[in-house]
Amino acid sequence: MSGELSPIDKAKFVAAKRATDFVEDGMRVGLGTGSTAAWMVKCLGERVRKEGLKITGVPTSTRTADLARSLGIKVVSLEEAKWLDLTIDGADEIDGDLNLIKGGGGAHLQEKVVATASDRMVVIADAAKEVETLGAFPLPIEVIRFGWRTTQALVEEMLISMDVLGRDVTLRMQGDAPFISDEGNHILDLHLNRIGNPRELALVLNQVPGVVENGLFIDICDTVVIGHGDGRIETRDINNGTTEDTRLDFVEEDNLFKDLSD
């Protein structure tokens, strides 16, 4: 495997592999969306196949649901599961307080609902996702399609009073057409460069008419697992203030993960 994966994919893989250690038999588990989360779903699928692990997965997107089912993971809706033991998901940016920007894949609405319906959220990422201050990655907000241009104008006006460095707002596209989320909404990407007060911004954004949800995850993540290209893994738990360093050695085997890349 080590000869086939790039350093960033190795980092994603070791983080995902380590995070699956938190999953126990009988758990109801939120399954995140994105390239790193896809590694995690694959690793869980391996545990289901090799260990007979019995879990119930609640996916945060249709693509995650399709992947989980293909690997033999039982999939149900959040309505069926009601409450979750654990959610494992990726992030686009992580600061020192474990606040996140998510939504690069356009699934942050479902991801936030699932994460907040869980006893614990574990975030998996490569080391490049760690930042001192959130905002270099564009902040996504999901907006209803009706009147979206008005919503955009209201957001741009609101940003004038916020502690941010940039205020450009763009409609996310998929080819020549606007991107449509699983909930049938548009995504506006806010190019802010730096967010001085993420908590305030998250609260104010959700007061704008037409905004369904924003991609700031504040006080939701409990544990972050950071992978490195050399197999090193750093696990930080914000609740008990601990940091654990481990390493995963790569072995040459059938690469079940070769179809997972950005």
Q: Give catalytic residue positions.
A: 111
Tell me: is residue 246 an annotated ligand-binding position. no
* Tokens linked to 219: 């006080």
Tell me: is residue 42 an annotated ligand-binding position. no
Give, in order, the Cα–Cα distances in Å from 139 to each of 43, 90, 135, 182: 29, 15, 7, 18
Give, in order, the Cα–Cα distances in Å from 192 to each of 101, 139, 162, 168, 256: 12, 7, 10, 7, 38
Tell me: is residue 227 an annotated ligand-binding position. no
Q: How many residues does the chain have?
A: 262
Task: Judge contact between 68 and 40, C-beta under 8 A.
Answer: no
Tell me: is residue 3 an annotated ligand-binding position. no
Rounded to whole angstroms, the Cα distance separating 171 from 99 reads: 24
Q: In what order do the strands lie in the sheet with 139-143?
A: 168-171, 186-191, 139-143, 211-214
Tell me: is residue 66 an annotated ligand-binding position. no
Task: Judge contact between 96 and 168, C-beta under 8 A.
Answer: no
35-51 helix and 7-19 helix, angle to the nearest 10 degrees: 50
Rounded to whole angstroms, the Cα distance separating 260 from 262 reads: 7
Cα maximum dimension of the chain: 55
Tell me: is residue 102 an annotated ligand-binding position. yes
Tell me: is residue 33 an annotated ligand-binding position. yes
Tell me: is residue 104 an annotated ligand-binding position. yes
Tell me: is residue 90 an annotated ligand-binding position. yes
Please report which residue ranges of the chain form alpha helices under DSSP H.
Answer: 7-19, 35-51, 62-70, 78-81, 108-116, 148-159, 198-205
Tell me: is residue 92 an annotated ligand-binding position. yes
Tell me: is residue 163 an annotated ligand-binding position. no
Binding site: what residues are annotated? 33-36, 89-92, 102-105, 129
The annotated binding site for substrate is made up of 33-36, 89-92, 102-105, 129
